[in-house]
Amino acid sequence: MRNPTVVFPQPRQVVVEDRPVPKPGPGELLIRTTRTLISTGTELTVLSGEFPPDSAWSRYGRFPMTPGYNNVGVVEALGQGVDASWTGRRAAAYGAHARYVTSPAAETRRLERDELPDEEAVFFTIAEIVMNGVRRGGVTWGEAAVVYGLGLLGQMAVRFCQLAGARPVIGVDVAESRLALLPRAPGVAGVNPKTQEPKTRILELTRGRGADVVFELTGNADLIPAEFAGLRRQGRFVLLSSPRKASTFDFHDLCNAPSYTIIGAHNNSHPPVETPGSPWTQLRHAELFFNLAASGEIRVRELITHRAAFHQAPELYQMLLKDRGQAMGVVLDWTAG
């Protein structure tokens, strides 16, 4: 196959098509993919088609479509005007699930040759999203942070909050398998709402003070109002998920009266360019993630639950549609076949 590519022809259908190898245009790189990471949140929401047709989700859910935005590989060719030093470099890009992708050189992340294994480096997009959310949430040392929803983004949020110095960091999820993946470290605790009221446990762990900051990562709009329960007065609520529908929300009781700050944290809120006052672009966050993962300060290998060759993608997506709760990091290997 010249360029096997994962395609969603229509909702709930996945195929691998043989497509032409793209040619890099001016300022672009041609990357031969080694690993991609399936987004079990965004991609599955789009694939399922379960979102309001007039919502922001509709711009993603146009079929047929080529999914994917976590891509790591090696630069094979350069477009006009690209620095020759890119040739043969390891690179991370917002590329689709395909053996060959193009990416603007200015938006591509460089990877040192032996810095980090590809299957770990491919988590860079998830890391960027979460690092931006933690930074926008203003998490600082000694604060109590609560993360609702321990999927891949939630697991990373717990880890980055801990690294930022938050104590305690409390992860909340109804799946014991996800709670079991929390770091076994001082100051990290898990709560299962099926067996314990989250607010009660949050108050116990914070000596009655409540959480300074809460992160929403369930993506379930119906759960959002209850997630304010353990938040202290004048605390911060960070919406880091992408809920699929509207939420009924009492702005008096859940914002005005307790004077909460509600913060949106979409990946697109990164600054477009690095400035002295706002230096943390996506590329800077990726660079920091690669360094932290290479040093072992952030561990992502333990979050990989599935590894498969690219041609198994249709079966993997169908499995995830039935029960995404059994999966965390799902990595596709593009080096074989």
Residue 195's CATH number: 3.40.50.720
Residues 83 and 182 in one domain: no
Residues 167 and 55 in one domain: no
Average pLDDT, rounded, for the chain: 94
The residue range of the domain holding 141 is 127-269
d(CA 244, CA 246): 7
Phi-psi sector, 29: left (phi>0), alpha (psi -120 to 50), beta: beta
Residues 262 and 317 in one domain: no
Average pLDDT over residues 249-258: 92
Within-domain flag for 314: yes
CATH number of the domain residue 58 falls in: 3.90.180.10
Residues 82 and 156 in one domain: no
Residues 35 and 103 in one domain: yes
Within-domain flag for 281: no
Residues 195 and 311 in one domain: no
Within-domain flag for 66: yes
Q: Which of 214, 247, 269 is the last residue of a domain?
A: 269
- pLDDT at position 59 is 59
- pLDDT at position 58 is 55
pLDDT per residue as tens digits for the range 271-310: 999 999 999 999 999 999 999 999 999 999 999 999 999 9
Q: In 3-state terms, what secondary structure has residue 50? A: coil
- pLDDT at position 209 is 98
% of the chain at pLDDT higher than 90: 86
Burial of 294 (0-12, 13-18, 19+ CB in 10 A): middle
Residues 98 and 147 in one domain: no
Q: Is the pLDDT of residue 111 over 60?
A: yes
Q: How many domains would you assign to the chain? A: 2
Measured in residues, the chain has a length of 337
Q: Which of 218, 246, 269 is the last residue of a domain?
A: 269
